[in-house]
Structure 1
Amino acid sequence: MRTHGTVRTADGTEVAYQLDGTGPPLLLLAGQANNHHWWDAVRADLLAYQTLSLDWRGTGDSEDGPADFTTRTLAADVVALLDQLGIETLDVYGTSMGGRVAQWLAVDHPDRVRRLVLGCTTPGGPRAVERSQDVRRRLAVADPAAVREAVAELMYTPGWRATHPGPYATLGDPAISPVSARRHLRASARHDANDVLARIAAPTLVLHGTDDEFAPVVNARLIADGIPDATLRLFEGARHAYFEECRPEASPVVLEFLAAG
């Protein structure tokens, strides 16, 4: 049974969270400008765990907060949540911006992360490979419907969309304010954990689609090379939402990795 609640962060922002199921705790961290529904398609695969998710600042049932934030701020929000729930250690699965937040969680709070899964994300900083100018132009048009279509194309392959027409829960929180959307974009763009990846002590699995244009696949290799003994698994032909489109392959890989510890 799913339960809901809120936590007050260090600057007083109220952040909503969701707990689902029983078993060892597994934290699920969603992508930029998205809420916990990002995980709707795969949460049922993780029933062996008590899954914990949250709505990022400015999404879902969470407050906007008073100012700009960083991926490190969001990691601190997660720690405030873990403290409130009395969770000392758990497994962490972070994707896209959630993967950036998970990097800081593992760096700054190594005692809280048992095993770490980083999906479709980047280390940030000067070595990271950014999305192309073509992708940026497709996302910068004024028509919201055109932007959502562009995001859908970046998330899923045409063949998969033909048999899975949606709606999709990964295209951004439709109720996010323009101010919060810009804050999310800045937080992701300014992320830079490249020089501290070697400090991540948790066993780490890195997952990525080979045809990801949102976060080019070379970033997965940078992360895997930067974290001691990390394991890299690529999904051929997949785009940014590999975890949903390649669910029959990806979810078992995650479960096997988490069970190995």
Structure 2
Amino acid sequence: MELEILSGAARLACYLANPPVADAGPPTLVLCHGYPSTALGAADTNRSYPELADRIANEGWRVLTFAFRGCGRSSGDFSLDGWLQDVLSVADHLHAMGDTRGVWLAGFGTGGALCIAAAARRPEVKGVAALGAPADFKDWANHPRRLVQHARDIGAIHHDDYPPNTDVWARGLHDIKPADDASEVAPRPLLVLHGSDDESVPVFDARVLGDSHGDAELRIITGAAHDLRHDPRAVAILLGWLDRERHRSG
């Protein structure tokens, strides 16, 4: 089912998948995509996530996936703090809906890092899965104007006059620190999943996130690259973790 959720001034295009068997209060998952690749672009970056949402829903979850602002059919322009607000807005919307055992967050790449940051700010979130997630955004923070241009090139920034102030826009790159936030997620469960051959985010970042949490389930997939969304081993590990969380919550 398609729906729209407001996140500040942005309208987020969302897809909601319900479990096939009616269940009073199923667990609910927010499923987040990552930063768009140059090859795919912002318009198509989340196109396969409804399929993954349906697959997870078949395992007994209510799943909501969405396009971050600036991506897919969502309005707005990319900023890291804006994307964090998107995760928080979706999670808050699902909490307000009620009729659930709780809300979990799962994301890939930048989306996974922001799930950790969002859970640190929402103690009611039950758990987080972060796949291929960076421990910080220092590389972006060191070159904010280059990032603005890249976001414009891939279609995540649509307006010529955005951002009105690059220094203000870049604050989120400094202020959002998943490695610090992971400690705030504890003792809630955290799955940190990474590819050993990730070409975008060093595998060391996964260890930093796991160490910060203190009791994370850390899984390194041998030979896997950054795009874990299409690695069947990564999806199987995610499904297994979600199955354990569902039974634990029941």
Whether contact under 8 Å (1:102, 1:118) holds in the other structure is yes
Cα drift, residue 68 of structure 1: 4.6
Matched residue of 1:53: which SS? strand
| Counterpart position of 2:184 | 199
Counterpart code for 2:47: H
Partner of 1:155: none
Structure 1's 69 and 225: CA in aligned 2 closer, same or farther, altered over 3 A?
closer
Q: What is aligned with 1:216?
A: 202
1:102 to 108, 115, 139: 115
- TM-score (normalizing by structure 1): 0.68
Which structure 2 segments of 5+ residues have no match? 20-25, 37-41, 141-145, 164-168
Q: Any residues of structure 2 matched to 1:95-174 within 5 Å, and which?
A: 95-111=108-124, 113-124=125-136, 130=139
The aligned counterpart of 1:14 is: 11
Q: 1:188 to 1:236 in 2, by over 3 A?
A: farther
2:15 aligned counterpart, secondary structure: strand
Q: 1:125 to 1:53 in 2, by over 3 A?
A: closer
Q: 1:83-105 CA distances to partner (integer Å, 9 max, x unpaired)?
A: 55447622221111111210122
**Paired residue total:** 211
Aligned partner of 2:69 among 57, 74, 90:
57
Q: Structure 1 pair 196/37, CA: closer, same or farther in 2 (3 Å)? A: same
Instruction: Sort the Cα spacing of 1:216 and 1:186 in 2 relative to 1 into closer, same or farther, 3 A.
Output: farther
Counterpart position of 2:29: 26
The Cα shift of 1:187 comes to 8.1
Kept in 2: contact 1:91–1:258 (CA 8 A): no
1:41: Cα distance to partner?
5.9
Are the equivalent residues in 1 in contact too, given 2:129–2:192 (CA < 8 A)?
yes
Give yes or no for the alignment of 1:250 onto 2:234.
yes
Return the alpha-carbon distance in structure 2 between the equivalents of residues 79 and 121 of structure 1.
Answer: 19
**Is structure 2 residue 56 aligned with structure 1 residue 36?**
no
Extract unaligned runs of 5+ from structure 1: 132-136, 145-171
Deviation digits for residues 59-118 of structure 1, max 9, x if unmatched? Answer: 1221116x855143233332343255447622221111111210122101021x222111
- Return the alpha-carbon distance in structure 1 between the equivalents of residues 48 and 203 of structure 2: 21
Shift of 1:13: 2.1
Which range moved further: 67-76 or 20-29?
Answer: 67-76
On the 8 A contact 1:75/1:104 being kept in 2, the answer is no
The AA in structure 2 aligned to 1:36 is N
Q: Which has the higher contact order (CA 8 A, sep 6+)?
A: 1
Q: Residue 32 of structure 1: SS of its match in structure 2?
A: coil
Partner SS, residue 126 of structure 2 = strand
Q: 1:75 aligned to 2:87?
A: yes
Q: Describe the shift of the 1:96–1:58 C-alpha distance in structure 2 as closer, same or farther (beyond 3 A).
A: same
Instruction: Give the direction of change, closer, same or farther, for the CA distance of 1:228–1:38 in structure 2 (3 Å limit).
Output: farther
Q: What residue number does 2:22 align with?
A: none
Q: Percent identity?
A: 22
TM-score, normalization by structure 2? 0.71
CA distance in 2, matches of 1:55, 1:31: 10
CA distance in 2, matches of 1:212, 1:53: 24
Deviations along 1:37-74, one digit per CA (max 9) or x if unpaired, are 25256445422122211111111221116x85514323
Distance 2:92 2:109 in 1: 21
